[in-house]
């Protein structure tokens, strides 16, 4: 049953949607709406129970029979098309078995036609998703605690973009507030222009740490730091010049880490941008009678919503985080008219976001319902070779350097002649760290393990990357150009290993959509591991480069689909896919 894939796609348009066909078949047999059936069709974990299943429990009330009896009754009335081999009634389920060759053709021709774009959609056409992620304070160098927000937010950004949304990535820099009063004082007391030019961010960190050490013994330093902050807020020339210099030093250092992670942003808009925009928020809250005085401070009372009050103004008239975040929400809605506005921060800020979202709702803005906090747990490292240069802080630079070093050791041991091995070690090492974070549900705390993350076996980044490299090597040795225009005999891909792998590829697009709907990149990461595991099993039980030309072409076509899908999926997670390892 050879067929030119390119011609099939051009002539017939979309490949058969098996769910729609099953829904049609059942709806005719049960005399119910196809849409009702469609919503319940699932995919069994074990292909021994078919490619798709339908639970008959939902028909028990209307058909007045036990679900198992309904399944048997419907099975006797169902008329299958040639796309299906059989339907079985197993307990309360109807299990549908697809014609294996038809199934291979349906899935693989779609992938070969779309290549790296397999799984993309236009679901988000005309809709803008704003994603606030990373957003560090610029007084700190990137450490391990900054990793979650950066890589989770960037993955969500890429996934939504892949699904056709207009995505806007915002790095909401912490470039204002009390910490700058402390830093300005610390610089004036213990540093100099020469020292800062020589030491950069290390020098800023040194004096910032020293300030907190000294403050514990001399609480009067708080007033000195407060005086510097007032100077900054009032536009004092010296304070503003130093503040801009400090921010540039910090941001330049951050860019090095972002480059290693492959992360970019559409907007760098710090807290300082909203300094002159918060009075409008305060005025509107007063005008709408939402403000109350409490111990000299101005609050929005949220007791009716079982939340503590949302602080808007301190007793000295100073603004707070909610004030800035409300101002920034107005700015983002006005600028982007978002469909969704996401904030990727740690779960300890749950209350803060619940409060300021509620305040926006009370102000009468119905788009407050389109804002979401995307929380994550705590990331820590096992006791290992890395030692902190600054107390309990482990710098991301050190984590990435160590990961690349350990991967290079493995490469030197197993493939010392590999070209560009330092670059490959960087891609695999950094990718291992990122994948280690994204493979776990974001809400869970994670203890990062070097042994697990850098393993070339198991459910890891290097394992998926190695599988991609293996597929690339097989294609290179195969000597054929595999694309949507080659003739493939799909009946050669009906063995269990091939069918399990095709199933993993088939559900990949749904996993991308699920990851977007749940804001959970780990769903995509696990789908990639399933494909990698499926391919390695297929590789081990089948001779791909066989002398039988039909079998060789079919297995190479399947290999090409795996390579393209793994590369695309890794890219959505922000991970490189080396051609050789």
**Chain centroid offset of residue 334 CA:** 26
Instruction: Identify the H or E element spanning 102.
Output: helix 100-114
Q: Is the dihedral of CA 272, 277, 278, 279 positive or negative?
A: positive
Using alpha carbons only, what angle is made at residue 573 by residues 575 and 435, rounded to the nearest 5 degrees?
70
- pLDDT score, position 193: 94
Run of H or E residues at 428: helix 421-438
Which pairing describes strands 379-381 and 267-268: parallel, antiparallel, or unpaired? unpaired
**Torsion sign, CA atoms 433, 437, 439, 445:** positive
The Cα diameter of the chain in Å comes to 87
Q: To the nearest 10°, the Cα dihedral for 135, 139, 145, 150? A: 30
Q: Output the 3-class SS for 17-56.
A: CHHHHHHHHHHHHHCCCHHHHHCCCECCCCHHHCCEEEEH
CB 344 within 8 A of CB 437: no
Q: Which single residue is written with the structure tokens 């602080």?
A: 311
pLDDT per position as a tens digit, 70-121: 999 999 999 888 889 999 999 999 999 999 999 999 899 999 999 999 999 9
What is the DSSP annotation of 459-495? SSHHHHHHHHHHHHHHHHHHT---STTSEE-GGG--S
> Under a CB-based contact definition with an 8 Å cutoff, are residues 562 and 480 in contact?
no
Measured CA to CA, the distance from residue 543 to residue 554 in angstroms comes to 12
Give the pLDDT score at 450: 74
Q: How far is CA 514 from the centre of its chain?
A: 11
Q: What is the pLDDT of residues 453-481, one digit of tens each?
A: 778 788 999 999 999 999 999 999 998 88
In this structure, what token pair is assigned to residue 414? Answer: 């197993």
**Residue 119 backbone zone (phi > 0: left; psi -120 to 50: alpha; other: beta):** left
Which residues of the chain, if any, have pLDDT below 50? 1-15, 384-391
The residues facing 170 across adjacent strands are 132, 267
pLDDT of residue 7: 32
Q: What was the pLDDT predicted at 394?
A: 79
Which residue segments constitute the domains of the chain, with CATH numbers given?
3-98 (3.30.1360.70), 178-261 (no CATH), 413-573 (1.10.730.10)
Whether the Cβ atoms of residue 271 and residue 243 lie closer than 8 Å to each other: no
C-alpha separations of 94 from 29, 43, 393 in Å? 12, 11, 56
Q: Token digits for 538?
A: 């297929």
Residue 16 pLDDT:
59
Rounded CA-CA distance 275/425 in Å is 44
Q: What is the DSSP letter of 73?
A: H
- Sequence-distant (6+) residues with CB within 8 A of 400 are 257, 260, 426, 429, 430, 433
Nearest to 418 by CA among 239, 256, 579: 579
CA distance 326 to 461: 39
Write down the pLDDT at residue 578.
96
Rounded distance between C-alpha atoms, residue 97 and residue 76, angstroms? 16
Characterize the bridge pairing of strands 128-132 and 340-346.
parallel
């Amino acid at each position: 049953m050879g067929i030119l894939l390119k011609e099939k796609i051009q002539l017939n348009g979309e490949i058969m949607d098996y769910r729609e066909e099953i829904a049609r078949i059942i709806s005719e047999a049960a005399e119910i709406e196809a849409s009702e059936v469609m919503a319940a069709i699932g995919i069994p974990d074990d292909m021994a129970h078919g490619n798709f299943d339908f639970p008959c429990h939902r028909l028990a009330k209307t058909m007045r029979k036990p679900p198992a009896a309904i399944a048997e009754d419907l099975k006797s009335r169902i008329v299958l098309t040639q796309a299906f081999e059989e339907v079985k009634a197993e307990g309360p389920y109807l299990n549908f078995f697809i014609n294996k060759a038809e199934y291979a053709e349906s899935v693989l021709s779609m992938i070969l036609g779309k290549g790296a774009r397999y799984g993309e959609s236009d679901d988000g056409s005309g809709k803008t998703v704003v994603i606030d992620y990373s957003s560090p304070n610029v007084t700190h160098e990137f450490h391990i605690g900054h990793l979650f927000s950066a890589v989770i937010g960037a993955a969500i950004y890429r996934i939504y973009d892949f699904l056709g949304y207009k995505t806007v990535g915002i790095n909401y820099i912490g470039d204002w507030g009390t910490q700058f009063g402390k830093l300005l004082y610390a610089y004036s007391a213990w540093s100099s222009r020469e020292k800062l030019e020589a030491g950069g961010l290390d020098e800023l960190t040194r004096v910032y740490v020293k300030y907190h050490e000294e403050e514990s013994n001399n609480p009067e330093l708080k007033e000195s730091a407060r005086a510097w902050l007032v100077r900054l807020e009032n536009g004092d020339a010296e304070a503003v010049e130093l503040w801009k210099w400090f921010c540039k030093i910090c941001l330049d250092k951050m860019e090095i880490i972002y480059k290693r992670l492959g992360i970019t942003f559409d907007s760098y808009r710090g807290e300082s941008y909203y300094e002159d925009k918060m009075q409008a928020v305060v005025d509107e809250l007063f005008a709408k009678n939402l403000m109350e005085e409490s111990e000299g401070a101005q609050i929005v009372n949220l007791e009716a919503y079982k939340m503590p009050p949302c602080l808007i103004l301190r007793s000295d008239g100073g603004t707070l985080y909610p004030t800035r975040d409300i101002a920034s929400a107005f700015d983002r809605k006005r600028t982007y008219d978002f469909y969704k506005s996401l904030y990727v921060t740690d779960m300890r800020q749950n209350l803060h976001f619940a409060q300021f979202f509620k305040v926006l709702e009370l102000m009468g803005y119905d788009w407050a319902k389109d804002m979401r906090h995307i929380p994550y747990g705590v990331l820590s490292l096992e006791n290992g070779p890395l030692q902190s240069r600054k107390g309990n802080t482990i710098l991301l630079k050190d984590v990435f350097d160590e990961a690349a070093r350990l991967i290079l050791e493995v490469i030197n041991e197993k493939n010392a002649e590999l070209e560009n091995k330092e670059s490959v070690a960087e891609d695999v090492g950094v990718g291992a760290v990122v994948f280690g974070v994204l493979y776990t549900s974001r809400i869970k705390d994670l203890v990062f393990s070097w042994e697990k993350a850098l393993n070339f076996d198991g459910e890891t980044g290097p394992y998926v990357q190695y599988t991609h490299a293996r597929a690339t090597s097989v294609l290179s040795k195969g000597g054929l150009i595999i694309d949507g225009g080659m003739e493939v005999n799909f009946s050669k891909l009906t063995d269990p290993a091939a069918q399990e792998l095709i199933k993993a590829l088939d559900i990949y697009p749904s996993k991308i959509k699920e990851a977007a709907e749940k804001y959970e990149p780990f769903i995509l990461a696990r789908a990639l591991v399933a494909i990698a595991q499926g391919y390695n099993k297929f590789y081990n039980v089948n001779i791909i480069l066989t002398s039988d030309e039909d079998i060789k072409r079919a297995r190479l076509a399947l290999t090409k689909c795996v390579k393209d899908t793994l590369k695309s999926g890794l890219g959505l997670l922000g991970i490189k896919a080396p051609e050789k390892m």
